[in-house]
Amino acid sequence: MVRTRFAPSPTGFLHIGGVRTALFNWLYARACGGEFILRIDDTDEDRNLQEALGPILEGFCWLGIDWDEGPESASRPGPYFQSQRAELYQAAVEKLIANGAAYYDYASPEEIQAEREEARAAGRSFRYSRRWMAASEADGAKFQTQGRAGVVRLKMPHEGTFILKDLVRGEVEFDWAAEQDHVIQRANGTCLYHLATVVDDEDFKITHVIRAEEHLSNTPRQIFICDALGYERPEFAHLPYVAEPGSKSKLSKRKLKKYLKNPDFAQLYQKGETIVSRIGQTADVEFFNPVLVDFYRQIGFLPEALLNYLLLLGWSLDDETEIFSQQQMIDLFSLDRVNKAPASFDPAKLLAFQEKWMRQLETEQKVALTLPYLQKANLVEQPPSHADASRLSQLIEAAGDRIKVAGDVLEFTDFFLPDEAIVYDEKAFKKRICKAGAAELLGRFAERLATVSPFDAATCEGALKDFVSQQDIKIGEIIHALRVAVTGKSVGLGMFESLALLGQEATLRRIDRALQKYEAEQSKLG
């Protein structure tokens, strides 16, 4: 049975590139009728973030990338955290030392660095001399009496080649002479990634290691460990990395300031900041980042849209097909369609995928997605009243494609705010309502609106057209003032849909409030 795995490190939140790798592992396992394992590589104790683990698991659940074995899984006891698997690693270290594939080394970092500098000065490649290798227990005891701390290093071969048959890159040749005696166990007894990942892959019976291109150089030392321990080699597939927008450099969460110089990236980030601020929160500079998956979950992207886009970062079916359901992804996925070249992350294209997926939803589905944002902003109760639920449904239909992500519903908070909370765009107020004759027209039309029945968009539109005709004025002399009076803004949804959304009583109250503000300002002017 095909068994793949993804092993995130809880040193930060889920990265776009990491999730793309997880997706390809998950799809390959599902396409082959196999199993997908989620493992947590937490060997780096100094950098682990306790608060990152929850969002990692939540992120996978949100995306629909389920695991057959892993944290919170009942199918196998695990453990699935490397920090809880030390006994297995220690046993592997002892076996490697016993068969001569590894050794205790007592060199200090300064001594290793001195050898590096000596090699550089001589114009040759650095290779550790093994001068402080403990060839026996007596050697180890002697070094320890000198106050030296011992690490365990691999005893790598010095000649020959290793040819990897990579499922994406074909045959890749490595020269054993270029490999260092890599440390696999620290002086404090904790083991490093290169040993732990090989032991874990064997223990979990991983058949295919599908991972990012940056790990390609790690493969020789891991194959050496695998062979030395008598394990069966898994197959390897190294995926192209996800590149920066418009660049061939690897996408990194640490380069946010650089990416914000890209207009599309900046627009996406600004959208996110606006949504978060409207909820009443402050965007965390470290974690609120479009390079991290949680950014998209927070602002209301559809997981289907994000997965669809990530699928095409390094994989393609043909030159035309772009939209894939989850089942289609599984049915069509294969490693032979993975590209070797890096795929550039394009925020504008990602947003375009989101818009396409959003358009496929029914009004009721959009209501379910957007309602939590209004509730977080304390604009709608939990559960919502019938009036608020009905208003939201009408708003969704009136807004149409303006709501690109679920959080965009917060652009239309004026329909849920109490009248006294409406903040006027002062520039628009002065231009539209303080214009000569506008307030008087607004007052007259309010009298007409008080008699409109039913108070729906079509009837309100008919009433305004009749009013304009009777007053012998152009519609622009009243409609802009009306919009500012009832929404506080100069732009927004269709005017008549806006009136219907507010309802008759709220509309009349808001017009009256705007007129009172106008009169107060006029009295100040004398």
Active site residues: 253
Closest CA to 433 of 520, 524, 502, 526: 520
Look-up of token digits 């599984």: 330
DSSP lists the bridge partners of residue 9 as none
Whether omega for the bond prior to residue 454 falls within 30 degrees of 0, making it cis, is yes
241, burial (CB in 10 Å: exposed 0-12, middle 13-18, buried 19+)? buried
Q: What is the DSSP code (8-state) at residue 224? A: H
CB within 8 A of 180, min separation 6: which ones?
126, 127, 128, 156
Q: Give the integer Cα–Cα distance in Å for 109 and 384.
A: 63
185 and 93 Cβ atoms separated by less than 8 Å? yes
What is the C-alpha to C-alpha distance for residues 127 and 129, in angstroms, rounded to an integer?
A: 6
What three-state secondary structure class fits 345?
coil
Which 3-state string (H, E, C) describes 157-216?
Answer: CCCCEEEEEECCCEEEEEEHHHCCCCEEECCCCCECHHHHHHHHHHHCCCCEEEEEHHHH
Question: What stretch of H or E contains 281?
Answer: none
Helices (H) and strands (E) in the chain, counts: 21, 12
Angle between the 50-63 and 16-31 helix axes, to the nearest 10 degrees?
A: 50
Instruction: Please report, as a single letter, which amino acid is at residue 359.
Output: R
Alpha-carbon dihedral 81, 87, 90, 95, rounded to 10 degrees:
-120
CB 30 within 8 A of CB 67: no
Helix/strand/coil for 105:
strand
3-state percent helix, strand, coil for the chain, nearest multiple of 5: 55, 10, 35
Asked if residue 438 lies in contact with residue 475, where contact means CB atoms within 8 angstroms, the answer is no
For the chain, the farthest-separated pair of C-alpha atoms sits apart, in whole angstroms, at 109
For the chain, the residue count is: 526
DSSP string, 366-385: HHHHHHHHHHHTTSS-SSPP
**Which residues have C-beta within 8 Å of that of residue 452, sequence separation ≥ 6?**
459, 460, 463, 504
